[in-house]
Amino acid sequence: MCEPMTIMMGVSLAMTAVGGLQAANAQQAAGQAKDQLGQYNRQGMRNAAITARHNARRAGERGREQVTDIAEKGRFLSGRQLTALAANGVVVNSGSGLDMSRDLDRQVRRNIARTRQATTDRQAGFIGQAADFEQRGFLAELTGANSAAAANRQAQTTLVNTGASVASKWYGFSKEGALDSAATGDEMVLGGHLALGDPGF
């Protein structure tokens, strides 16, 4: 029958080992969770980048539609203007009639230029957003992977330290003679046949 001291030492060693294993498992699980979160965020940023690029294409389409609309309206107004001037007896290919026609044409061209510039700016903004989303996604995935790797190293260190702690305790107990059956005057019988004090153990 084991002495209470021997049992307490065994419990102490077991608790140290189990505690270290649990801590290592928790560290690995935390690292895996961060890695998965990084991958999830990367996918979310990719989706956002796809949306931003789609918005850039759509902005270009809308801009071209607006330019076409402005040009068509300009031609319509120019035609109405020429008709009205001619109906009132104004010469449309010289003098004030020509000046009015040229003014309208310049205004239409300015509107087209402004619309094209605004379209380019909108597209550039969306393209910049897409690049930013891609970069943020890459960094999120990289951070998650690095966190997982750091957690694995931490878990390995915990296991090594746990093993060293168990060995140190075992050595300390042994050095004090606490594990020596001769010192305690007791034997631990294994299976009812073999004892710790038996030379064949």
Ramachandran category for residue 195: left, alpha or beta (phi over 0 → left; psi -120 to 50 → alpha): beta
Q: Tell me which residue of 158, 162, 172 sits closest to 9, measured CA to CA.
A: 172
The pTM for the full model equals 0.64
C-beta atoms surrounding 2 within 10 Å: 16
Distance of CA 124 to the CA centre of its chain: 24
The structure tokens listed for 98 are 């020509």
Residue 182: per-residue pLDDT: 41
Q: Looking up tokens 């330290």, which residue turns up?
A: 161
Residue 82: per-residue pLDDT: 82
Q: What are the boundaries of each domain within the chain?
A: 46-181
The structure tokens listed for 166 are 């168990």
C-beta atoms surrounding 126 within 10 Å: 21
Per-residue pLDDT of the chain (201 residues; tens, 9 = 90+): 456 666 677 777 788 888 888 888 888 898 899 999 999 999 999 999 999 999 999 999 999 999 999 999 999 998 888 888 888 887 777 777 788 888 989 999 999 999 999 999 999 999 999 999 999 999 999 999 999 999 889 988 888 888 888 888 777 777 766 555 444 444 444 344 434 344 443
Check: CB of residue 31 under 8 Å from CB of residue 147: yes
Check: CB of residue 150 under 8 Å from CB of residue 31: yes
